[in-house]
Amino acid sequence: MTTASRPFVPRAVGTPRPRPEGPQKVRGTARYAVETADTDALYLFPVQAAVTRGRVTAIDTSAAEALDGVVAVLTHENAPRLAREADADHGVLQSATIHQHGQYLAAVLATSSETAREAAALVSVTCVEEPHAAVLDEDSPDLYAPGSLVVGATDDTRGDPEAALAAAEVTLRRTYRTPMEHHQPLEPHSTVARWDGERLVLHDATQAVSWTRQAMAAAFGIEESAVDVVSAHVGGGFGSKGGTHPNTVLTALAARAVPGRSVRYALTRQQMFDLVGHRPATVQHVALGSDREGRLTAITHDVVTQGSRISEFVEPAAAFSRGMYAAAARRTTHRTVPLDIGTPTFMRAPGEAPGSFAGESAMDELAIELGTDPVELRLRNEPDVDPETGRPFSSRNLVACLRRGAERFGWADRDPAPRARLVDGWWHGTGVAAASFPVVRFPGSEATIRAAGSGVYEVEIAAADIGQGARAALTAIAADALEVPVERIDLRIGDTAYGAAGPAGGSAGTTSWGATIVEAAERFRDKYGDDPDDGDEADAATPDNPWASDYAMHAYGAHFVEVAVHADTGEIRVPRMLGVFAAGRIVNPLTARSQFLGGMTWGLSAALHEESVLDDRFGHVVNRDLAGYHVATNADVGTVDVEWLDEDDPYVNPMGTKGIGEIGIVGVAAAVANAAHHATGVRVRSLPITLDAFLE
């Protein structure tokens, strides 16, 4: 579709292909941001606020400055000024005001990492403290309705949901809670910054070199063209490396003090809990009204979430309930409590991940209330058109996912009785949940295609490979768009030298960059045909999707899990998981499977482990390392089966892709909670699901 007149015929697309950067990654020779620093680079170590709200009244850097090897100590008193346009989150070292625990108050530059850290500990900060609030309280007087969400309206009401709930033959009202979580990519956020005159050169761990460029240009009041951002390899992001955080600004600000010299800063794991975003805690009130046969008549999903006082991000958790099931009456709302904490941000499946825990747990509870099989209940509420927009679906194969999953998992033999299968001291149960994630296309990418001789095409786009496999995927798309073998594609990504580009985020990278590359290939072939001269070149920006207003576009999935809960200790294990997905055309089956099972592993981790515990007295995360903040380990994961259904969706984009980075996590926590109930008869409505829930 778009403006392409040639059909996109998948040849390389759909064929399993190893990552071209694989040999470097397994040897460890692929260089991540901080690993590009030259030997002369200075090490930065920050001084952070130990109070949550207040003001610096004195800051003594003399002991730090006296240390051999210290080159500079920056504070709000001597740091270069940032532009007024700087984002509120980026106003680093610009005033004495403290708005969160862990805020940067000073930065030491030294010739070794050990010296920088020692000197930072010698900086003496005196503060006055002011009252603060750091923990979500849904009854807070500060609760407010945000102006809008990232996608969609803050509130959305159809019909009269309260009247429909009151009139329903069966009504279920439940409250679910999800905790604050942190992304914790294994590569900490890190930056190498250098000023060459008025030109800022950055190597940054980012999901979007263009976004980093924009943020830095705004922060320093310079043209975007005066900022170079390189990000060749990124050690995971999951959303935290999407937006630019204060660490990148701090590094560039400090580099201002040593013109021509590089400054390197990689966050410590502990700092990763302070300054680079988190998934906010939610309180979710869900009500379902239904007739006795299980046909929904009303759905309400009201979300309260936490935000920061200086910048707004709202977890769009109720958005999940806008499109999943048919019901004539529906209400979804979002409210936020601003707190004196770091600003939350996108984290893998923002909205859908916590929202599906509530929505899909509630469906399971309703199924039990009705005595209906939970797969069947979902089948009965399949909508004909998108409930949110009234548009037809470009393709929707949730029913096929549920049916295929049930068949493969052996669901038909399931005895619905809870607490009925005790085997060798373990209660066993199975659970199901559905998943969806919207098809997103970010505008604003640019792609350039150039004939480089010997039949090779250079394809440039400032995409990011954060582990999803962009190099392999975009190479295949470019090859098919130009109708040449993949060996003739020289793909170049991860550098603002290649123009603007949208982020690796929103499960939209392959879709957005791919559509742009296909458009550029189309223009190239229109202009030069298939036998171009060396140096022939064409470029394109991301085309609009002409079907965007005509169809609702989502990927779907179904999760089936088995849970075992130890009868004496309450230990909960997940020996078996199955995810069946309908997510458009799969570009690279080898890496796609990794993305799906990675998402499912995230879902397992959220279900059983992840919770950032805020101490209201001090405003910091208490369990601030990977020993205290548990993420799933190898031994936590049992058998993980992944399957996808072939879809040929002509409306999403020329490649037919829907995005697969996030749907794997959506619904998993609900499936685990539903299975845990089936195993034990105990319903857990608050994540993570820990053993204390099962102890009598």
Where on the chain is the footprint of another protein (CB under 8 A)?
A: 18-19, 21-32, 35, 39, 112-115, 183-188, 233-236, 238, 266, 268-269, 466-469, 590-591, 593-595, 597-602, 605, 625-627, 631-637, 639-640
**Which strand ranges, in their side-by-side order, compose the sheet holding 104-110?**
70-75, 104-110, 42-48, 263-266, 190-196, 199-204, 227-230
* Residue 26 Cα to chain centre, angstroms: 25
Cα–Cα distances in angstroms (integers) from residue 1 to residues 546, 555, 571, 648, in the given order = 7, 19, 52, 13
Distance of alpha carbon 227 from alpha carbon 216, whole angstroms: 7
**For residue 330, which of 555, 165, 147, 551 has the smallest C-alpha distance?**
165
Nearest distance from residue 484's CB to another protein, in Å?
Answer: 24
Q: Which is nearer to another protein, 363 or 493 (CB)?
A: 493
* Residue 78 Cα to chain centre, angstroms: 36
Nearest distance from residue 264's CB to another protein, in Å?
Answer: 9
Distance of alpha carbon 285 from alpha carbon 628, whole angstroms: 29
Q: Which is nearer to another protein, 71 or 310 (CB)?
A: 71
The DSSP code for 378 is H
Contact 443, 542 (CB under 8 A): yes
Distance of alpha carbon 675 from alpha carbon 565, whole angstroms: 10
Nearest distance from residue 271's CB to another protein, in Å?
Answer: 11
Nearest distance from residue 598's CB to another protein, in Å?
Answer: 4
Distance of alpha carbon 110 from alpha carbon 61, whole angstroms: 14
Distance of alpha carbon 70 from alpha carbon 72, whole angstroms: 6
**Which strand ranges, in their side-by-side order, compose the sheet holding 97-98?**
97-98, 54-60, 124-129
Contact 229, 500 (CB under 8 A): no
Q: Which is nearer to another protein, 277 or 543 (CB)?
A: 277
Q: Which is nearer to another protein, 559 or 685 (CB)?
A: 559
Contact 588, 655 (CB under 8 A): no
Nearest distance from residue 29's CB to another protein, in Å?
Answer: 6
**For residue 667, which of 577, 533, 551 has the smallest C-alpha distance?**
577
Q: Which is nearer to another protein, 640 or 682 (CB)?
A: 640
Nearest distance from residue 35's CB to another protein, in Å?
Answer: 4
Contact 47, 56 (CB under 8 A): no
Distance of alpha carbon 289 from alpha carbon 327, whole angstroms: 9
Per the structure block, which two tokens stand in for 662? 């996030």
Q: Which is nearer to another protein, 174 or 573 (CB)?
A: 573
Enzyme catalytic residues: 662
Nearest distance from residue 431's CB to another protein, in Å?
Answer: 19
